[in-house]
Amino acid sequence: MADISFAEFDHVTGKVFHHLLASFPVPVTLNAHSVGLQATYEAASGWDGSGHVPASPDEIHFDSCVHWLAGEGYIRTSSSTIASFEGTVLTLRGLNVVSGVPSSLTAEHYRKD
């Protein structure tokens, strides 16, 4: 069971990190559709309730993964609704995971020979 959950988490997390690294350091709107997952919200004006389309399984899983990544400090968001996160950017911790940090964020960059 954990292998399946980890594989699904790895899939979503890889897509999220790739998307955010491509836009770094500019904060972006991050949603299931922007990382290539099935999104039902595009065909609807809202979420569960009268006259609204419920979130897809991809969106529900995406939402959980992104909330976890933010809670653990890998990404930062300014606001969120179901499966949509505004002002999302990689943190220093997230950069260390996906690519390392820019040289301008190291002491060596500023040391004179």
| Domain presence at residue 92 | yes
CATH at residue 20: 1.10.10
Strands 28-31 and 84-90 come out as antiparallel
Q: Which H or E run includes 80?
A: strand 79-81
For the segment 61-65, the average pLDDT, to the nearest whole number, is 94
- The answer, as to whether pTM is greater than 0.85, is no
Domain count, the chain: 1
* Residue 92 belongs to domain spanning: 2-99
DSSP 21-68: HHHTTS-EEEETGGGT---SGGGSSSSSSTT-PPPPHHHHHHHHHHHH
- What is the per-residue pLDDT across 11-60, written as a single tens digit (0 to 9) for each? 999 999 999 999 999 999 999 989 988 777 544 455 455 556 777 888 88
For residue 64, count other CB atoms closer than 10 A to its CB.
Answer: 14
| Domain presence at residue 107 | no
55 vs 1, residue with greater confidence:
55
| Domain presence at residue 110 | no
| Domain presence at residue 64 | yes
State the Cα torsion 32-68-94-76 to the nearest 10°.
Answer: 80
For residue 33, the model assigns a pLDDT of 87
| Domain presence at residue 10 | yes
Q: Dig out the tokens for 68 from the structure.
A: 């976890």
| Domain presence at residue 90 | yes
